[in-house]
Structure 1
Amino acid sequence: MTLKVYLSGEIHSDWRERITVGARDLDVSFDAPVTDHGASDDCGVAILGAEDQKFWHDHKGAKLNAIRTRRGIEQADVVVVRFGDKYKQWNAAFDAGYASALGKALVVLHPPEHQHALKEVDAAALAVAEEPEQVVEILRYVLTGALPDRAARAAE
């Protein structure tokens, strides 16, 4: 059984790569939004034509990106949503809510200092992780029932 995982959230760090590399020995397929910030912002006007007002420029892009995002979340078995430090990820919060409303298994990933701000999102999640490697261990456990090596964990 291949576990389908959608990786949503911030695009300014290597968290997706850390998860995909860490899970390379697992039967997992990954999907994600477009992580090229410029392409994501400009897809609407690049495909459907220029807009004079920034609101409509962003509106077109958001709608095209929503096609990909909705499909990815709807087809996923597990949705991982990462909240990072660099920007407020309002879209990530929306993705977490959408996944929760669909009854998807939701894993939230963020640093400890975001706990208060994300308490409602965390409450909807089946797991809240601080590091991408914890997400890998969650996926490993779900697929195999194996726990991480405790000796290795103690050394960390």
Structure 2
Amino acid sequence: MAWSVYLSGEIHTDWREKIIQGCKEKGLDIVFTSAVTDHESSDAAGDGLGVGDTSFWRDHQSAKINAIRIQNQIKKCDIAIIRFGDKYKQWNAAFDAGYCAALDKPYITLHAEDIIHPLKEVDASAQAWARNTSQVIEILDYVLNKS
């Protein structure tokens, strides 16, 4: 039976593709899901409801529409990988980690050492902290294949 892995976090690098490819090369039976990673499409998710008079209402509507997908995928996943990048603050990823923790859903954080301190609470609830995609792939391989 395939595992479901939800990939959350920054959208400006190819970390998702590296994990997906690495797991494919190991023959891991995994179905990957994610939020919409096209920034413009995600920001416009609520535009069909009518554009509000401020950027707050546009963001609010789109966040709610995006949450339909995100919450369902997190609830259905076996584990989430939550990536925090270097360039931008991923408040949405921190929220996803909190949602996983509230649901008692296991997750792995993926980030550089220089942001350990601001992510200490997020990491404290994670099952693992990885510094690179290779470590994530090894964890998934272990969880799925070791008896």
TM-score normalised per structure 2: 0.96
State the match for 2:58 in structure 1.
Answer: 57
Aligned-partner Cα distance in 2 for 1:99–1:55: 26
State the match for 1:32 in structure 2.
Answer: 34
In the comparison of the two structures, how many residue pairs are matched?
145
SS in 1 for 2:44: helix
State the match for 1:43 in structure 2.
Answer: 45
Q: Which runs of 5+ in 2 are unaligned?
A: none
Moved >6 Å (runs of 4+): none
Instruction: Please list the CA deviations of residues 1-36 of structure 1 after superposition, one character each: whole Å capped at 9, or x if unmatched.
Output: 211100000001000000000011100000000000
Greater shift in the superposed pair: 47-56 or 11-20: 47-56
State the match for 2:13 in structure 1.
Answer: 13
Aligned-partner Cα distance in 1 for 2:146–2:91: 34
The RMSD of aligned alpha carbons is 1.0
- For 2:44, the aligned partner's letter is D
Aligned-partner Cα distance in 2 for 1:128–1:28: 20
State the match for 1:3 in structure 2.
Answer: 3
State the match for 1:154 in structure 2.
Answer: none
- For 2:13, the aligned partner's letter is S
User: 1:133 Cα shift?
Assistant: 1.3
- For 1:12, the aligned partner's letter is H
Aligned-partner Cα distance in 2 for 1:143–1:49: 45
- For 1:21, the aligned partner's letter is Q
TM-score normalised per structure 1: 0.91
State the match for 1:100 in structure 2.
Answer: 101
User: 1:49 Cα shift?
Assistant: 1.7
Q: Percent identity between the aligned chains?
A: 55
- For 1:18, the aligned partner's letter is K
Instruction: Please list the CA deviations of residues 23-60 of structure 1 after superposition, one character each: whole Å capped at 9, or x if unmatched.
Output: 11100000000000000001101x21222211001000
State the match for 1:22 in structure 2.
Answer: 22
SS in 2 for 1:43: coil
